Structure 1
């Protein structure tokens, strides 16, 4: 079992003991998503796979939060915000702009990318390194900008 999955299981137990309903509900939802993916793929997920599930859930929550806030549904926006905070606790520290740029430069050098056509190679190398630590759409935009100016 992955370390991250163990941490999540322990957090579920702690939330049960503390009778923290919002946190318990969120963590159970996370564990259900992980279990669903394990059943679908018929294998136990690695830390990277669990991070991917958490990243996807965070992205969904952030989008929902923005929609609820824009629609004036503060009650639902607050619920989404609480879920975002809970899930974020299990994410690794985000990369700084300088670290992201450094990783992009290294990936471009390693793949010997020369044009925008090589973007897939570069992103394939970067994705596991930045998963959960940087927004992939932002990284993709930077790679695209870097490759179009090469």
Structure 2
């Protein structure tokens, strides 16, 4: 399976701090998927054109089975991940964002501010996650069954 993880952060991409969210995504998916995973690792700033181009490249040219983004899903002016994702999607799967918000809201009332989404482009599933490693650890494991099923459908199984 080929999986890309994109960390969207102005500061992490500039080397101001270490990316901890991307490695957390790898840890969790590595625990939940059997077989080898070929990882594509990207850290870029919150720039919508760059995000869109990176997503297109990973879906169309690299033909990743799964692309997981982390960061840029809040209400701040530079949080543009959902807009960039929707711009390149063929089909949106809003249930991912809905369940992430519902589950997170029980622990963190400000989770309602998240605008994360998911969808497909070609045979690739794209899922937006929050930028906080702790939130990733709480949310991503519960998404694994749906991720697994979506990938099977995208591959015609």
Q: TM-score, normalized by length of structure 1?
A: 0.29
TM normalised by structure 2 equals: 0.29
Computing the radius of gyration from Cα coordinates, the structure with the larger value is 1
Higher strand share: 2
Bigger relative CO (Cα 8 Å, ≥ 6 apart): 2
